[in-house]
Amino acid sequence: MKIKKFGLLSFTVLLMAVSCSRDDDPTPAPTPPPPVATITPDPINNFVYKAMNSWYYWQDKVPVLADNYFKTPNDYAMFINGKTPDKLFYELLYDYGNTDQFSWIENNNEIINSSARVAEVEDLTGLEVSLFPKGGGSNLYVALVNYVVPNSSADQKGIKRGDVITKVNGSYLTASNYGSLFSGSFTVTRAETVAVATVNNAYVVTTTDKAENIAISKTSIEENPIAHYQVFNISGRKIGYLVYNGFKIDFNDELNAVFGKMKTDGVQDLILDLRYNGGGSLTTALGLGQMVTGGYTGQPYVFLDFNSKHNAYDDFDNLKATIDIYRINNGNQERTGETQTINSLNLPRLYTLVSFQTASASELTVVSLNKYIPVTTIGYATVGKFVGSNTLYDSPAQDYLSYENRNKNHNWKLQPITFAYYNKDKDPHPTVRYTNGDVVPGILPSEGNRVHPYEWIGKIGEFGVTTDPELKRALELITGQSTFASTKRSVLQVDRLKVLSKPMNPAKGLFIPDMREFIKD
């Protein structure tokens, strides 16, 4: 028994020794980390991100816009903070410059763009140009004047459609200085003579210069998109020619009025010149379709496809007999409350002039009208912008659609691509296959109706002159006459044009002025 007690005692002492040893030299407990401070998201950038997450058409293709991308609120705040709103916006675009060339952001009507795109909301020089490399081994360019806005600085200085500009600010045009043509003020020198030839299946432009240095500057002026209207009387047929340069919703009444004039004039055929029309209002595009046809009231004209978060808006928009009248107030389109009955021509066909500057609502007009009447296109491959946008404001309670309820502490607003459009049968978008193998969206006239833009140089003058190759071709097709000599089309292959145009005014991109138009009862 003693042995057992001793053994038990020894074991007890041993435990006590171990216990005392631990008390004397304890292992320190880990120090808890300090609490992580909550980072407050920048309020303007929060609007930019949340609105894009909700509405951007390609939201599902941009990883950082995924709903579960950020693990913590602080991760989100750290991502959006420390950037200007425009920098954040362009970081969120899908394949920017390729798939998405069209989204933009504004601050108090000033379009902020990280690329070189130029937009003129109110201040215009009135000079609308396309730029062409001279070719033949030269690194110089020429700028062809597409048209001049009436009463603008360029108009007052005597610049005319068809003029060829060789110098800006006294220097010959190059890739590094042509952007000066879109600045606030500059000088230009025009060509005295110009000739275009084809050498080794490529265009070469040669010029001589006038002794001049014409000063041009921006002034506040509103451009009327209805640039020209006239009637050709040929062999008893009355052919209307309308140059329409933008689907501007605040000119709906003027557009309807010119179609009323066509009815009075007895127009039997219409040539619609959309070469310089980068798009605009969907409401106006629907109205134009009705003005041309008139026999399909109530029928579907265009189908809109939104991202998966807004499938409730996926729907057809139908042709209707009336059009709403709008005015622009503080940079935003507002209904006046007036509605006009549309003047319809009930035309059996339409002839359209198109180019590498024809986009969006202009392309919609071709693909949507062509489901009801034949639409003949004349010119060259179009932009291929079969998408549109909504203006998004900092009004999260209204899903960023309300201008009236926006956060008035800042003036930022977004114009991202929010939908794709299709014709009434939801046909796939047309594509253009180029000689280099590229296949991209766009509308390409049939080979017999193709006019390369280089053929404009030296041949276009004031709107309506029949030396204009595309207008000439349209008159040939309508009349069947050779009075208008066939256009020389020496370069027929479809090349990716190395032609620079004035960057498309984003304000002419297809947009929806009021989402209530798409909310069905």
pTM, full prediction: 0.86
Same domain for 363 and 241?
A: yes
Determine the Cα–Cα distance for residues 124 and 413; give it in Å rounded to an integer.
22
DSSP 29: P
Q: Does 7 fall in a domain?
A: no
Determine the Cα–Cα distance for residues 13 and 380; give it in Å rounded to an integer.
101
Same domain for 487 and 372?
A: yes
Q: Does 12 fall in a domain?
A: no
Same domain for 298 and 445?
A: yes
Q: Does 131 fall in a domain?
A: yes
Q: Does 31 fall in a domain?
A: no
Same domain for 288 and 379?
A: yes
What CATH number does the domain containing 194 carry? Answer: 2.30.42.10
Count: domains in the chain: 3
What CATH number does the domain containing 314 carry? Answer: 3.90.226.10
Residue 327 C-alpha from the chain's centroid: 21
Same domain for 354 and 216?
A: no
Same domain for 89 and 156?
A: no
Look at residue 215 and give its three-state secondary structure: strand
Domain stops at, among 170, 194, 220: 220
* pLDDT score, position 11: 33
Residuewise pLDDT in 10s, the chain (521 residues): 333 333 333 333 333 333 434 445 566 677 776 666 789 999 999 999 999 999 999 999 999 999 999 999 999 999 999 999 999 999 999 999 889 989 999 997 666 654 333 333 458 899 999 989 999 999 999 999 999 999 999 999 999 999 999 999 999 999 899 989 989 999 999 999 999 998 888 889 999 999 999 999 999 988 999 999 999 999 889 999 999 999 999 999 999 999 999 999 999 999 999 999 999 999 999 999 999 999 999 999 999 999 999 999 999 999 999 999 998 877 677 889 999 999 999 999 999 999 989 999 999 999 999 999 999 999 999 999 999 999 999 999 999 999 999 999 999 999 999 999 999 999 999 999 877 778 889 999 998 999 989 999 999 999 999 999 999 999 999 999 876 544 444 343 445 444 444 444 443 444 544 443 333 32
CB distance 346 to 489 below 8 Å: no
Same domain for 80 and 198?
A: no
* Residue 363 CB neighbours (<10 A): 29
* pLDDT score, position 202: 84
Q: What are all long-range contacts of 35-40, with beta carbons under 8 Å and residues at least 24 apart?
A: 36/74, 38/73, 38/74, 39/73, 39/74, 39/77, 39/78, 39/81, 40/77
Question: Whose CA is closest to 513, among 311, 310, 335?
Answer: 335
Same domain for 302 and 380?
A: yes
Same domain for 342 and 474?
A: yes
CB distance 484 to 459 below 8 Å: no
Residue 461 burial (10 A CB sphere; 0-12, 13-18, 19+): middle
DSSP 515: G
Same domain for 276 and 174?
A: no
Domain stops at, among 91, 112, 133: 112
Look at residue 308 and give its three-state secondary structure: helix
Same domain for 154 and 247?
A: no
Q: Does 29 fall in a domain?
A: no
Which three-class secondary structure string do you get for 218-287?
CEECCCCCEEEEEEEEECCEEEEEEEECCECHHHHHHHHHHHHHHHHHCCCEEEEECCCCCCEEHHHHHH
Written as six digits, the tokens of 519 are 């909310």
Range of the domain at 159: 123-220
Q: Does 17 fall in a domain?
A: no
CB distance 62 to 94 below 8 Å: yes
Q: Does 348 fall in a domain?
A: yes
* pLDDT score, position 26: 60
Determine the Cα–Cα distance for residues 228 and 97; give it in Å rounded to an integer.
33
Domain stops at, among 220, 241, 268: 220
Same domain for 203 and 189?
A: yes
Q: Does 118 fall in a domain?
A: no
* pLDDT score, position 291: 98
Q: Which amino acid is at 159?
A: I
